[in-house]
Chain A
Amino acid sequence: MIDVILVDDHLMFRAGVRASLDDTINVVGEADDVDSAITMVRSLQPPVVVLDVHLPGGMGGGGAEVIQACTDLLGTVRFLALSVSDAAEDVVAVIRAGARGYVTKAISGSDLSDAIRRVAGGDAVFSPRLAGFVLDAFGAAAGDVATGDDELDRLSAREREVMRLIARGYSYKEVASELFISIKTVETHVSAVLRKLQLSSRHELTRWAAARRLL
């Protein structure tokens, strides 16, 4: 049984999500704006918070602002972003704030339950779209490859392969069998990419997200 808080400003959608989740997920609270979400997350401290990217209230930072206000809890509380928007700047903003994954609202109930379990277990949830953004932001050209593990600004060759397969619509399992590695290894690569996405000070990353607004 995994306790979650749902944060979304649309009552209809919260009701729909609540109904579609399977038996292993227990919704312990709902919030509909930035301030009430922060208060609720701080008082309940559930293992997973599912939150919309666009939320009213606060300083206009939406879901990213909620996560930033709870940065000290990130070890115990994990955030999964759920949004109708799949615009690059929205995705990158919440991931860099500390979210462990990003899924769109068209996701089915069982897939969402899976994603919540995965996030609760400490893994990252990468949709094909998010993998595409990562490749776009870190440079998709094959020559631009990290040499050491500690290099935050570039992807390693293996990480790039994994990202490309995910972007092409492969599940973690399919990626594993395509590359002849275990699912656990795929998860390790994905977590490493998530970490780079969150910590990289890569000049182009900010610039890229900024330029995406102008596309």
Chain B
Amino acid sequence: MLFVTTATTERLPLRRPRAGRIVGGVCRGLSAHLGVPVGLVRLVMVLLTVVGGAGPLLYVFLWVTVPAGDPVQAAVEQRPAALSRLAPRLSEQGRRLPITDIAVGLVLIIAAGLLIAARNGVDVATTWVLPSLIALAGAALAWSQLDAIQRDRLRAQSGGRTPVSVLRLIGGIVLVVLGVFLLVGRDVPVEDLVRSAIAALAVLVGTALVLAPWWLRLVRELGDERAARARESERADIAAHLHDGVLQTLALIRRQADDAEEVARLARAQERELREWLYDDRRTPGTSLVSDLRGVVAEVEDTRAVAVDVVVVGDCVPDAGTEALLQATREALVNAVTHGKAPYSLYLEVVDTQVEVFVRDHGDGFDIDTVPTDRFGVRESIIGRVMRRGGTATVKSRPGRGTEVHLCLPRNGRNGEGA
């Protein structure tokens, strides 16, 4: 049985993304959540329409209930702040056709055209169909605010005011009222219609007067919360910028101070720490071979005052086998730093079947067979450790081309106790 192979199996939360949507982003969001191609989701949606119209129903239900937003961003926000990176993420540059707006416009134009035709005596569906359609369009327009809230908030933050949401609401109300009146007052004389409209309006105004204080308080609370959030994000920006600046200076120091070993060592340690805080989302301790490896490398770098170029591909949960591999890697690295020359490279590759490590230096190289067995630590501490776990270890060294230690450990689930 394979246990957790990579750390990337987490599901993205269900959101309706703004980029790449066609109507409301429901299919795009479902595809990101389920991890299936968006085309397939759309196809299933369309096919479901044939099954008693279940497709559109499901779509509208999800449209109303699922919040809009970037699923990746949402997943990041759900992470504990202490484990996330400080530096801001680059925002996605998605292109978007205003298809929704165009569709709403088309529907409105058709409705207006029908109304005018009806006034001029043409007998269009003046029964219940047209008014219901108008009322539905109005409701859709008002509900579409839910969709627009996030975008409007972004725009409001950047300084511009947005009358769009107000227009949306007013347009929606007007349409719904019109539709309802046409629907209810089909056979009623005009005077009665006007009188009942006035009565309805009076009731609405009364209700509004009663509810106004509560609504005002709600708005004020929302404003306070927004201001607090803006302050917080501003503070985070400043912190990120400061750290960023320190990192720049450190990079400069490291490049110029080639004689002062101590300065280089401190700069390296500080740089590593800042880098981790700024650009890495940290993993929970004990769940990642990669973070354990980085710990080992950091220790060697600090004690020997060198820089090691670490490249990793994949990750897995550490076990007894990888622990032995890690120890062997440490020995190989110490060996490279002691006998070889900079730059030092370390490459870790984790795939389903095996874990591989390459440790390389650019020294003069040596011939491993000429080294006496009792004097050299390579055989026991590196090769022996990995062999006992069922792995292989080879040392490749050629004069003038440096030395490369290659460790390979098969991953066959939990039966790693070969020692």
Contact = CB atoms under 8 A, between A and B. Distances in A.
Interface of A: 10, 12-13, 16, 20, 53-54, 59-62, 64-65, 68, 84-87, 89-90, 93, 97, 105-106, 108-109, 128-129, 131-132, 135-136, 140-142, 164, 167-170, 174, 203, 207-208, 210-215
Closest 8 CB pairs of A and B: A169-B345, A132-B311, A211-B8, A60-B91, A210-B72, A168-B347, A87-B279, A105-B251
B311 A13 contact: no
Contact of A128 (B35, B76, B345): B345
7 contacts: A16-B252, A85-B278, A140-B313, A169-B345, A214-B10, A215-B8, A215-B283
Given A167-B311, A214-B76, A54 B255 contact: no
A207 B35 CA distance: 8
B87 interface: yes
B255 A169 contact: no
Contacts of A87: 85, 279-280
B281 A167 contact: no
A84 B90 contact: no
B314 A136 contact: yes
Interface string B338-372: 00000111010111110000101000000000000
Contacts of B280: 87, 215
Of B79, B91, B311, the most chain A CB neighbours within 10 A belong to B311
Contact of A129 (B7, B35, B311, B344): B311
Interface of B: 7-8, 10, 12, 35, 37, 71-72, 75-76, 79, 85, 87-91, 93, 244-245, 247-249, 251-252, 254-255, 275, 278-281, 283, 288, 307, 309, 311-315, 343-345, 347, 349-353, 358, 360, 401, 404
Nearest to A64: B90
A53 B343 CA distance: 25
Contacts of B37: 203
Contact of A84 (B85, B89, B248, B345): B248
Contacts, number: 137
- A interface SS class: helix
Contacts of B12: 210
Contact of A105 (B248, B307, B309): B248
A213 B93 contact: no
A175 to B, nearest CB: 12
A208 B8 contact: yes
B31 to A, nearest CB: 9
Given A60-B91, A64-B93, A168-B404, A132 B347 contact: yes
Given A168-B360, A168-B404, A207-B35, A140 B314 contact: yes
A215 B249 contact: no
Given A135-B349, A174-B401, A84 B313 contact: no
Contacts of B345: 128, 168-169
A99 to B, nearest CB: 13
Contacts of A213: 72, 75-76, 89, 281
A135 to B, nearest CB: 5
Nearest to B252: A16
B35 A85 contact: no
A168 B283 CA distance: 24
Contact of B93 (A54, A59, A128, A168): A59
Contacts of A174: 401
B401 A54 contact: no
Given A136-B314, A170-B360, 9 more contacts: A13-B252, A61-B91, A84-B247, A84-B248, A85-B279, A86-B279, A93-B90, A167-B347, A168-B345
A12 B249 contact: yes
B90 A62 contact: yes
A214 B275 CA distance: 16
Nearest to B274: A84
